[in-house]
Amino acid sequence: MTDPLLPELLALALEAARRAGALLRDGRPADLGVAATKSSPIDVVTEMDIAAEKLITGFLAEHRPDDGVLGEEGSATEGSSGIRWVIDPLDGTVNYLYGLPTWAVSIAAERDGETVVGVVEAPMRRETYRAVLGGGAFANDVPLRCRPAPPLDEALVSTGFNYVATVRTHQADVARRLIPRLRDIRRGGSAAIDLSDVAAGRLDGYYERGLSPWDFAAGDLIAREAGASTGGRPGQAPSGELTIAASPGVFEPLQALLEDFGAWHD
């Protein structure tokens, strides 16, 4: 890393994610309940989502008060430095609510609109995924590389489903049509971890419709820095319309099928 700002941003993201991950892991109440809902009654926020975002934003503001922030639980400031932090304090909230281990803290730093640092902290896995633009991707300091691409019918692909029932119904139909073309499909419940698993070679691909920037900002960079291809619809970047990450030889045929099946619309 020749840019002196990037190590600073990475160190802050790692420390903020570590602190939030420890809070979530060690501070989870036995009687944890739903604090609010978002898009539907099953799209939930817990008191711990809110507490983790407050911890992260407070830590970043202490060290870089002029930066902007975009957080899932409502934090939003413009900033004046050209740096914006994109934060999901608890990706996989429903898993966390039920005591399932697949959840993570996701923190990305953008400079002038381009993601330059990404950190995904997965406390129950004891893994921290990180990447800096142009500097590769790592998990606990071990370099990551996506899997060599198998034929599509031997690819293990993960996805996620929306919390709005009508949208989820169409997504289930897309998955039904995909399953015969793949080795199998997984549904983990955390976009940040799915993208990191593509980077780590634990999945051949991942796709999902309906993500927000905080869901994929860090994981997308980690996947790309591990050699994966990422995007949305043909010729487009990942977005709420469609996000895809896969080994390069899997990406193109998977993207083509998703386009044909209408995975980008409800």
Would you list the domain boundaries of the chain?
5-143, 152-260
Output the DSSP codes for 60-86.
HHHH-TTSEEEETTS-EE--SSSEEEE
Confidence (pLDDT) at 40: 75
Beta bridge partners, 184, equal: 156
At the top level of CATH, the class of 5-143 is: alpha beta
pTM: 0.96
The pLDDT of residue 43 is above 80: no
Q: What is the pLDDT of residues 79-131, one digit of tens each?
A: 999 999 999 999 999 999 999 999 999 999 999 999 999 999 999 999 999 99
The mean pLDDT of 61-90, rounded to a whole number, is 95
Give the Cα separation of 195 and 17 in Å (integer): 17
Give the Cα separation of 77 and 164 in Å (integer): 28
Give the Cα separation of 104 and 135 in Å (integer): 22
pLDDT band per the 50, 70, 90 thresholds, residue 48:
very high
How far apart, in Å, are the Cα atoms of 35 and each of 43, 47, 172?
A: 11, 6, 28
> 């911890």: which residue's tokens?
55
pLDDT band per the 50, 70, 90 thresholds, residue 33:
confident
Correct CATH for 152-260 of 1.20.1250.20, 3.60.15.10, 3.40.50.720, 3.40.190.80: 3.40.190.80
Output the DSSP codes for 12-58.
HHHHHHHHHHHHHHHS--TT--EEEESSSTTSEEEHHHHHHHHHHHH
Q: Which candidate, 17, 7, 46, 41, places its Cα nearest to that of 29?
A: 46
Among 100-109, 162-171, 213-222, 235-244, name the one with the lowest average pLDDT.
162-171
Determine whether 108 is exposed, middle or buried from the number of CB atoms within 10 Å of its CB (0-12, 13-18, 19+): buried
Contact (Cβ atoms closer than 8 angstroms) between residue 215 and residue 245: no
